[in-house]
Amino acid sequence: MERERIIQTQGLSKFYGPHMALENLNLDIKKGATGLLGPNGAGKSTFLKTILGLIQATSGEGTVLGHDIRTEGAAIRSRIGYMPEYDALNPDMDAINQVRYSGELLGMNPIVALQRAHASLQYVGLGEQRYREIKSFSTGMKQATKLACAIIHDPELIIADEPSNGLDSTAREFMIDTLINTVKQGDRSVLMASHLMDDVERVCDEIVLLHKGKLAAQGRIEDLKAIDREIEIHVWGGASKLEAAMIKRGMRVRREGRVMRIAHESEELTSEILLCASQVGAQIRRMHEYEASLEDLFLVIMENLGYDVKSSEDLFKHPIHARKVDAPGHMGGGAS
């Protein structure tokens, strides 16, 4: 079943002087939840601003919900709900009034806006706190208020910029649940930009990965994930011996502290691992098939683009001047 497309762009480019923020972007985002990923500075903000119709693309065209992004910015903005990354709330207002006002700014009449403000605050879990001033809110409650502002007019598309950033686990869980619920039960679309891959993976089915203004990957998360099967074990005591024993038996082992991953090649692998463990007396606290996460996917894609994870060796490759002057000599400082 072909789902309807909500965002489409063809050859979208945006230059800031010589600096290229977006380059020839051909995107096709369908109804449902989509994650907008990319390393820092990949052009996500520029992309969001472009599809909101707030800045003009240098070249290329696109539609959002059937509206042309170049000419119908206002129409787009009245049909989507945008949840900005940074604080966008007046700290001296009550949550209910802030949300109501955000509805009125869309053209709702005040009575309807008030009803909808109650409903949306209820929905984002701020039913009890809606008469409190926003400055007394925690980060999680502020994020929820921002979401309530975004969904007050029941938009077809919700653009959430880092919705779960900076939240503690309770608030984060709730924010994610709310977004999932919005997609599943409310049948709305969510475009979610986030660096927290776990959250994206939970909410979204598809991702778009931008890098340096170009499209690096797009598609369903499941399709994109490599099917490199591995067994992950958590060892308690005797990890090195176990590792040695397993390598001796010809297994391919990667190890990070107490966590080891073994390439899943034979059907008997689990039994062999346990055998090794019983021989060296190591405890296997956990053992399960390791499923690649979105984060792995991201890293693989970035690695293909020539960026890798660095280690402390890179940090200490060069001589460090700081040692010379850091502290009094008797503290071990002074000369290195």
Partner 1 sequence: MMSPPKKDNVFRALDRKLGAVAEFTMRQYRTKLSTWVILGVGFIAIFIVVLFYVDSMQQEIEAIDNDGDSADWDGDGYPTGQERIYGTDPNNPDSHPGTFTPPIAPDAPEKWINEDDFDWDLSARGDTTAGYDDDGDCRLADSTQSQKDNNRNNVECDIVLDYNEMRGEWSEPNSDKLVDEDPDEEKYAKEAIHRAFLLAIGKMGFVFLLGIFLPLFLATGLIREEMDNSTIHFMLAKPIARRDIFLGRIVGYLGIVWPYIIGMGTIVGIISGFAGPGDGFFRFADLGMWMAIIFATMLATLVYGMLFCALGTLWKRGIILALPFAAWELGMAILSFGAPSASILRFSVIGWSLNIIDAASLVVWPNMGLFISMGMWGGGAYNSDFWGGTQLEGAAALNAFASDTGLGISPIATIVVSTLVLLFQAAVLWLVGSAIFKGKEIE
Partner 2 sequence: MSEDEENSPQPQPQPLAQPQPIAAAPQLPIPTTPQPVQPVQPVQQMQPVQPVQQIQPVQPVQQIQPVQPVQQIQPVQPVQQIQPVQPVQQIHQVATDDVQMATAETPVTGQGRMDTAWGSSEGDEDISEMASIGQTDSGEIFKQNYEPWRGELNPRWMRNWAILRHHILGIFKKGHRPWGVPTRIFLVLVFFASLSDAALTLLSSLIGDSEFHSMWGVNRDNLYGHVLGFFPRNVMYYPIVAALLVGGVISEDRLHGTSALYFSRPINRFDYIGMKYASVAFIQAIIIILTLFLYYLTEIMVYGRGWAWIVDTFPIFLGALMGGILLIITYTSIGLALSSVSKGKFFPGIGLLAIILGTKTLAIIVKNLFDREILYLLSPYDCLAHVGQTLVRTQPTYDQYSWTWSLASLIVMNAIALYVLSSRVSSMEVTRE
Partner 3 sequence: MMPDLQQVGEGETQQWAPNITAPVVLLENVSKSYGKIHALSEITLALSGGVTGILGSNGAGKSTLFNLLMGKLKPSSGSIKLFGTDPWKNPAPYARVGFVPEHEKMHDWMTAHGFVSLFARLNGLTREEAKSEADRVLNFVGLSDVAHKQLGRYSKGMRQRVKIAHALVNDPELIVLDEPLQGCDPLARTTIMNVIRELGKMGRTVLVSSHILHEIERITEQIVILHNGRLLALGNLHSIREKMDNIPHTISIGCENPKELAKDIINNDAVYGISFPSGDRLQIQTHNLNAVHRELPALIVANGHKVSSIDNPDDDLESILNYLTGGLAR
Which residues make up the interface to partner 1 (CB under 8 A)? 319, 321, 324-325, 327, 335-336
Phi and psi, residue 309, nearest 5°:
-70, 135
Pick out residues in 109-148 that bind partner 2 (CB under 8 A). Answer: 109-110, 112, 115-116, 118-120, 122-123, 125, 127
DSSP-assigned beta bridge partners for residue 209? 37, 217
Nearer to partner 2, 284 or 292 (CB): 284
Binding mask 232-251 for partner 2 (x = CB under 8 A): ----xxxxxx----------
- Report if residue 90 touches partner 2, rule: CB under 8 A: yes
The entry of partner 1, partner 3, partner 2, none that residue 335 binds, CB within 5 to 8 Å by partner kind: partner 1
First-to-last C-alpha distance (Å) of the chain: 67
Nearest distance in Å: CB 324, partner 1: 5
- Report if residue 166 touches partner 2, rule: CB under 8 A: no
Q: Which of 11, 15, 70, 75 binds partner 2 (CB under 8 A)?
A: 75
Nearest distance in Å: CB 46, partner 2: 7
The entry of partner 3, partner 2, partner 1, none that residue 52 binds, CB within 5 to 8 Å by partner kind: partner 2
Phi and psi, residue 220, nearest 5°:
-75, 140
- Report if residue 101 touches partner 2, rule: CB under 8 A: yes
Where along the sequence are the contacts to partner 2 (CB under 8 A)? 45-46, 48-49, 52, 54, 73-75, 77-78, 82, 84-94, 97, 100-102, 104-110, 112, 115-116, 118-120, 122-123, 125, 127, 149, 153-154, 161, 173-174, 177-178, 181-182, 184-188, 236-241, 257-258, 282
